[in-house]
Amino acid sequence: MFLFDIYNNILFYLKEFIVTTTSPNLFIHGMMAVFIIYLLTKRPFKPRQNDKLSKAEEEELIREWTPTPLTPKSNPLEVLNQKELVIQSSTSTHVTVDNKELLNLARANYLGFIGNDEINKVSEKTVRKYGVGSCGPRGFYGTIDVHLELEKRTAEFMKTPETVLYSSAYATISSAIPSFSKIGDIIIVDRGVSQPVQVGVTLSRSRIFYFNHNDMDDLQRVLEQTQFTGSKAKIVRKFVVIEGLYYNSGTIAPLPQILKFKEQYKFRLIMDESHSIGVLGSTGRGITEHYGVDVNSVDILTGSYGNAFGSGGGFCCGAPEVVYHQRLNGVGYVFSASLPPFLATSATTAITMLDEDNSILERLHENINHFYKGLSDLKGLEITSLPISPVIHLSLDSKSTRNNRIEDEMVLEKIVNKAMESGILLTRAKYVAAEKFIPKPSIRVSVNSLLSKEQINQSIQIIKQCTSSVL
């Protein structure tokens, strides 16, 4: 009788379930019941004791086995980029490659400090006093007095409260961004930023939004899209990430308009000035000086000592709390050996030389202008960068392009090789495969303040001749 009552109750509830449940839910629950019954009745697999391969079968399986490649097969562009030149010696304007002296227009030695006699003497003196490396992070007995001197000198030069020194320019921006922006925060990024900035944005694990390069209407659209009100606005931090001078395009950020948006939409501004410090502005203090705005309106400002100053490492300027936070949370600062002392003293010397003699900067601007005028009528290639940028991008024009990236890259590589045969070292702009929003193929020309008018005229003539012969 008891079992009969249970049976009736089960049927009653089953009937109620069928009557009250919608068809989709009934189907889903039915499938789940069937699957559970299948799992309960399925016999587990147990290999039999005599299930052994013969020696011949084992050897055949071993012969047929092919390991999965550790890396994917290189595409034609990656094969093209594998070419590596070895520099045997270097001066401020030239390098020696394969025992041949070449005028170097491929490196970002904008102020010509590489090979400077005064900087070389200071570096040699530093090596004799401290040795070559530091062999320790800043927080673990890797801080040397020359590091503190460089931080102080950089803060004075940039007119910011404080500066923190990193041993790698690449690690500076890629560490600074994730040290502040975390999961749940919002980062709005210009599509034109270079790869180190993209790495920092990715490492933050924040919500990422991109806006079209230097397009203020599109930036405002994204700012409106990510605008929150009420309690949510108080806990969601928002950052806008830009570059002062974009290395991938040779263009500059419309900083005044972005600062207006900053007041309106209440975000924090992170700006990398690796290629605008020592280049833009009347005294080389970067894009803020170029536009005449207060440098402290930028919350987090990063830069490099490895370009205009011809040394190594990077820095981040900001309020004391911004700098102190990175000393505890900046991965590139905490876990990397500190900057070699001789690089610190060479950077300090370079900053002082620029600060005391702005004629170096004036010559750079004159050389940039001379290059742009000379290349403006170049047939087959067009200048896609701005006339104030020391980074000049030359891309195939609409008549010369093959409308295929690999083919265009190969054409540009032929021009670069012919220029090398004529005594000029150029380079194609190269990007890693994981980089987002890769610009169109180009030859990148880097202008040096120490180039003479004769060297510039010769370079322009060689570029024109090589382009004409290839196209």
Same domain, 320 and 413: no
Q: Which CATH number characterizes residue 150's domain? A: 3.40.640.10
Same domain, 349 and 397: no
Query: What residue spans of 185-317 are helical by DSSP H?
Result: 195-204, 216-225, 231-235, 255-265, 287-291
pLDDT of residue 231: 62
Q: Are 308 and 110 in contact (CB under 8 A)?
A: yes
Confidence of residue 471 (pLDDT cuts 50, 70, 90): confident
**pTM (2 decimals)?**
0.84
Helix, strand or coil, per DSSP, at residue 330 = coil
Q: Which residue has the tokens 């490649």?
A: 69
Give domain status of residue 59, yes or no.
no
Same domain, 372 and 285: no
Mean pLDDT throughout 229-254? 87
Same domain, 89 and 167: no
Q: Are 262 and 290 in contact (CB under 8 A)?
A: no
Which residue range is the domain that position 26 belongs to? Answer: 2-41
Q: Which of 394, 425, 423, 424 is nearest to 411 (CA)?
A: 394
- The answer on pLDDT for 363 being more than 70 is yes
Number of domains composing the chain: 3
Same domain, 351 and 373: no
* pLDDT tens track for 120-154: 999 999 999 999 988 888 888 889 999 999 999 99
Q: Which CATH number characterizes residue 430's domain? A: 3.90.1150.10
Same domain, 411 and 313: no
Helix, strand or coil, per DSSP, at residue 254 = coil
Give domain status of residue 22, yes or no.
yes
- Give percent of the chain above pLDDT 70: 91
pLDDT of residue 228: 75
Give domain status of residue 128, yes or no.
yes
Give domain status of residue 277, yes or no.
yes
Q: Are 462 and 424 in contact (CB under 8 A)?
A: yes
Ramachandran area for residue 380 (φ above 0: left; ψ -120 to 50: alpha; else beta): left
Same domain, 339 and 286: yes
Same domain, 136 and 184: yes
pLDDT of residue 59: 86
What phi and psi, each to the nearest 5 degrees, are found at residue 367? Answer: -70, -40
Same domain, 30 and 97: no
Residue ending a domain, choose from 334, 356, 378? 356
- Give percent of the chain above pLDDT 90: 74
Same domain, 271 and 419: no
Same domain, 365 and 462: yes
DSSP secondary structure of 37-105: HHHHHPPPP---TT----HHHHHHHHHH--PPPSSPPPPHHHHHHT----EEEE-SSEEEETTEEEEE-
pLDDT of residue 97: 94
Same domain, 393 and 312: no
Q: Which of 282, 286, 257, 291 is nearest to 272 (CA)?
A: 286
Spatial distance between the Cα atoms of 160 and 301, rounded to a whole number of angstroms: 10
